[in-house]
Structure 1
Amino acid sequence: MNRATISLVGATVLVILGAISLEEAYAAIDLNTITLLLAMMILNVNLRLAGFFRLVSGWLVRRARTPRLLLALLILSSGILSALFLNDTVVLMFTPLVLETTAALRRNPVPYLIGLVTSANIGSAATIVGNPQNMLIGMSSRIHFVTFTAYLAPVALAGLVVTWLCLQWVYRNEFSSGPFPTVVELPTR
């Protein structure tokens, strides 16, 4: 069973056993958060179908001339997109593109994939809409979007820089080489 099923079964058992009333169970559902999540998922799907994530990936490949710059651009774009859209979607859309890009450039995909997932997680902390936990915090505390972002965006940006530095240190052999021999264009689908 997945987490959603376990949660639903657990809530049902609590109501059946009388630990909470049906009214309390309904009151615990935050429709504002669910609506925001649904809207973000719909937006993400439409962006994917429109080719937005492939466009961003193509931009990365055209601009990256060295492994360090590719990693920096990947971390920055993943962090920024994850602050604006759900981080899980950014990772799901970018993973195949990172694998295609690193294969075409004959690079080790591991540091780039680690950079992708860590920067998506870090970047999602910058705004209320970056991840479901932030949505819950924002809705329940009524923190204004701009206030939330003003406090957490600098922290997220610092985290992205630390991620870039750590990956360069841990995978120094990957990032010690010079420029890529050629710029690779990703196939359109």
Structure 2
Amino acid sequence: MTRLAETLATIDQLHQMDPSVIDDTPAELNYARQMTHWLQQLAPDASEELQIAVRSQHLCRWEIPRSEYPEGRTGYLKWRTELGKLHARKAGEIMARNGYSETSCAQASAIIRKQGIKRNADTQTLEDCACLVFLTRDFSAFAAKHPRDKVIAIVQKTWKKMSEQAQQKALALPFAEPDLQVLQEALA
């Protein structure tokens, strides 16, 4: 087994520990697989660091519950920052055990923590994967639970985070009619 395969397998072992299960699969393992699916669509020749970062995006997310942070945007952003540090630290530890250099570990960490979005191609690719997973996996349920104006605002924010390549992939997705209407309104 290559060190990349060993690293990804170890990451997936941690994902398997997610107590939240969807359709008999740990939720974060499902998320990681979808992230990797989109990475293969967007950057089939991705570096090992990017492949690891994408697979680690939600690594052990359940260890820091959202409920431990205040409601509202400030609490949400603090929670997300702490999650990014956790994901990066755990991925870096796994990488180091598998023989990756400090430089490679730092590169993957920066991608996971979304440093240099819109300036760093790898960080942008990770963000594109996350946005596409949201649109394909979570958008419909999110739209059903929230007021239309909030959903439109979230779609607009998501769209601004995406590269043109990812936007084109998103436009080709087979959305249900109600979701398509919201997306069209948001992007008008």
State TM-score, norm by structure 1: 0.29
TM-score (norm 2): 0.29
Decide which structure has the larger Cα Rg and report it: 1
